[in-house]
Structure 1
C-alpha cells in the first residue's frame, strides 16, 4: 500500500488546514500584499504563449497570473481543495480552460488559458507536449518526503521541451538541505544555470537562507 504524501497527512490530521491556507492568501491579497513575485520572475524567462507547468500550484494564484500573461498554463497539485479553488479563481478573473472536441479538458490549454489537475508531482507529468518552463514555488519541494524531491526533479527534467528550464525556490531551513538538493539535481541530470537568494534575483551568498535556481538539463 502506498503511503500518503506529507501534505495529505497534514490535511488528514487537520481537515481545515487547506481552507485556512486559501483564506490566508485571500486576506493577503485584500491587504494589498504582492503575491506575484514568482509569476513575474517566471514570465521574464518566457516568450508569449509558452507552455508552463506550475508544480504544486496551491490555490492557483501564480497559474492564473501566468495565464493572464498569455501563457499556456498547467497547474498541478495533490490537494483537491486547491484545484477547486484554482478553477474558481480562474473563472473569477475571466481565465478559461481549454476543452477538446470530446468535451474533455485538454492536458495543455491554449495561450491565455489554464488547466488545473489534481496530481502527485513525484509521478510522471504525462503531458502531450514538453514544458518551456516548470515552476516550483512556495517551498513545495520541502513538503515532499524523501525520495520525493529527487523523483520530482527527475520527472520535471523529463517533462521539459528542448531548451526548456525549471525555476524553483525554497527555504534552506525547512529540512531539505542544499547538499541533498544538489545531489538530487545531479541524479536528475540537471544543472544550475543561475542561482539567487530571492524571487527578485538578489545575489545568493553563504548567508542566504532561501534559494531560487534556474535549472536546465545537462
Structure 2
C-alpha cells in the first residue's frame, strides 16, 4: 500500500473493531442493512458478477450474494475483511488497496458486470488516490459495466472533483440521487449516490 488510507489516519486506533461490533449489533437487532444491495440488484441481470469495492464487514456483498450474484469483496483493512469472512461465508473476500489492486493476481481475472462503493468508501481512501481508485475499479468492469458510488457530500471530497475524476477514469455518469432509495438529487443534499458506466466503446481505464 503506497499511502495510508484516511480510514487509518483519521480514525481512532480501535475504530475497525468498533465498526465490526457496531454492524454485528445492528444485524442482531434486525436493522435494514441491505439498501445499497437492493439498488445494485435492480441495475443488473440475475446472477451477475459484482465487485464490492471497500467491502468493510461484508454487509452489502453478503446481501447481493443472497440474491444470487457472484460477489468478490475487497478492502484494505484486514480486520474488516476477517469479519466479512467470519460472518458472511460465500463471497470471495480479499485484502487489497483499491488504488493498486489487480484482482487477476488473486485468481479473479474475469471482469465484473458491476461494482459498488458504499459506506463512504471514497471519503476514506488515501488523499490523492481518488482518481486511481475509480480507474482501478473501472478497469475491472466489463465494457458497459455499471459502477455505483455513494458518499457524504461533506466528507472532504467535492462532487465536482469526483465528477472530473470519474471522467478521467473513463466513466460516464448516468444518474445521481440523494439517497440509496432513489430520492431525487438536489444541490444541497448531504449525500450523493452516483450511477456510472464504463462505455462499451470507450478506451480501457487506466490509473
TM-score, L = length of structure 2: 0.88
Aligned: 1:166 with 2:147: yes
What's the secondary structure of 1:44's corresponding residue?
helix
Whether the aligned pair in 2 keeps the contact of 1:10 and 1:17 (CA below 8 Å) is no
Structure 1 stretches of 4+ with a deviation exceeding 4 A read: none
CA shift digits 1:144-180 (9 cap, x unpaired): 1332111011112211112211011010001000111
Greater Cα radius of gyration, structure 1 or 2: 1
What's the secondary structure of 2:88's corresponding residue?
helix
Map 1:51-90; keep pairs closer than 5 Å: 51-90=49-88
Whether the aligned pair in 2 keeps the contact of 1:56 and 1:76 (CA below 8 Å) is yes
In structure 1, the gaps of 5 or more residues are 97-113
Aligned to 1:207: 188
TM-score, L = length of structure 1: 0.84
CA RMSD of aligned residues (A): 1.6
In structure 2, the gaps of 5 or more residues are 200-207
Aligned: 1:16 with 2:14: yes
Aligned: 1:187 with 2:185: no
- Aligned equivalents of 1:185, 1:60: Cα separation in 2: 25
| Count of aligned pairs | 195
- Aligned equivalents of 2:67, 2:2: Cα separation in 1: 38
Map 1:1-218; keep pairs closer than 5 Å: 2-10=2-10, 14-91=12-89, 96=90, 114-126=91-103, 127-218=108-199
- Higher deviation after alignment, 128-137 or 28-37: 28-37
